[in-house]
Structure 1
């Protein structure tokens, strides 16, 4: 009869141990389930994000590219001939999209223009001034001026001017002269905006 009281505590200890083991297994299984659920949610979120990126890139790729509505205005002029005192040299465009009317370059857009000018001048008098002028409706201003003193002088200019769309650029001499191989280029270097361009 003394053996039975010892067996009961052992049975209780074994039961407690089994219960603790079962609880530990249950908690471990629950943690595993939570971990698996988090992995599944993370994987689904990554796939959804990847699919959204692919759809965005696909839509962007399938959209037609918008063509440039305005080409960059430019002109290239070559001139050889005679200039008359105080009268605009009768320039005509060799190539380019900028129009020339009555020897004046019609500026189509507001912006910065790169201007390049070179050539040889043979003045009939000892002193000659070659002037690049800007005319706006009723006013006229000098953009650039060079004095030619010898009988055969070369003109060189490379610069940038800010011009407006209503401007007319002309080239003239202060006395009669013969001009040889004059080259004048004008290119808009700032991006053209439709609202600032001649229609």
Structure 2
């Protein structure tokens, strides 16, 4: 009978542990739901903005041709292939008036640009950084950096997705490049730039 009082505290400790474990699992599930919701919202917003951009480009394409100085600079880039550590990805334009040289996007006019980027990246190392950077007067300046984790689990393929939609003020001296800090396999990369403000001839490349 002397050992009987010890049973209840032990049972209470066991119940407390089970309750804490259940609460941890519930919080973990909630965090997963929030993360999935954020991924979904981000993807939907990305596709809406990309669709709006394509509609804008389609309307502009159907309009009567205008003088060269009045055309809105834009480019649409598609790429699938390998990336090499520290080397600019060899981008080529699918369509558009903005020139690309040696993988560098040559910004033709000062102004605000709508930038949209989507792709899937499969790094050879555990972590990878994808960097959108500008080169101006031999100096590199990162504009945006995305960290990607290596994942062989098909359930977590969303971790390999990259989505970017932003507006950047760029100058005509800027050259934009994409590069990774380790070797990787890049699939279904779509990159578009559209000048949002009317171009002024004095602020554009000759």
Using structure 1 for the length normalisation, give the TM-score.
0.65
What CA deviation, in whole Å up to 9, does each residue of 1:42-98 have, x standing for no partner? xxxxxxxxxxxxxxxxxxxxxxxxx55320000000000000000000000000000
For residues 77 and 167 of structure 1, the distance between their equivalents in structure 2, rounded to whole angstroms, comes to 18
C-alpha distance after superposition, 1:144-167 (max 9, x if no partner): 000001335000000000000011
Counting only pairs closer than 5 Å after superposition, residues 38-53 of structure 1 correspond to structure 2 as none
- 1:187: Cα distance to partner? 0.5
Contact map agreement 2:116 2:192 (CA 8 A) in 1? yes
Q: Hey, what does 1:115 align to over in structure 2?
A: 115
- Deviations for 1:114-173, whole angstroms, at most 9, x for unmatched residues? 000001000000000000001002211000000001335000000000000011000000
Q: Secondary structure at the match of 1:172?
A: strand
1:122 and 1:172 mapped to 2: Cα distance?
A: 14
Structure 2, unaligned runs of 5 or more: 1-65, 152-156
Contact 2:124/2:150 (8 A) holds in 1: no
Contact 2:172 2:204 in 1 (8 A): yes
Secondary structure of the residue aligned to 1:145 is strand
SS for the counterpart of 1:108 is coil
- Runs of 4+ deviating beyond 6 Å: none
Residue aligning to 1:14:
none
2:82 aligned residue: 82
Q: For 1:8-60, what per-residue CA distance to the aligned partner results, in whole angstroms no more than 9, with x for missing partners?
A: xxxxxxxxxxxxxxxxxxxxxxxxxxxxxxxxxxxxxxxxxxxxxxxxxxxxx
Alignment-derived partner of residue 195 in structure 1: 202
SS of the aligned residue for 2:70 comes to coil
State the alpha-carbon separation in 1 of the partners of residues 145 and 204 from structure 2: 27
Alignment partner for residue 168 of structure 1, among 163, 166, 175? Answer: 175
Tell me, in whole angstroms, the C-alpha distance in 2 between the residues paired with 1:119 and 1:94: 15
SS in 2 for 1:175: coil
Partner residue, 1:126: 126
SS in structure 2 at match of 1:190: coil
**2:141 counterpart residue number:** 141
Give the number of the structure whose alpha-carbon radius of gyration is greater. Answer: 1
SS where residue 195 of structure 1 aligns?
helix
Structure 1 gap ranges (5+):
1-66
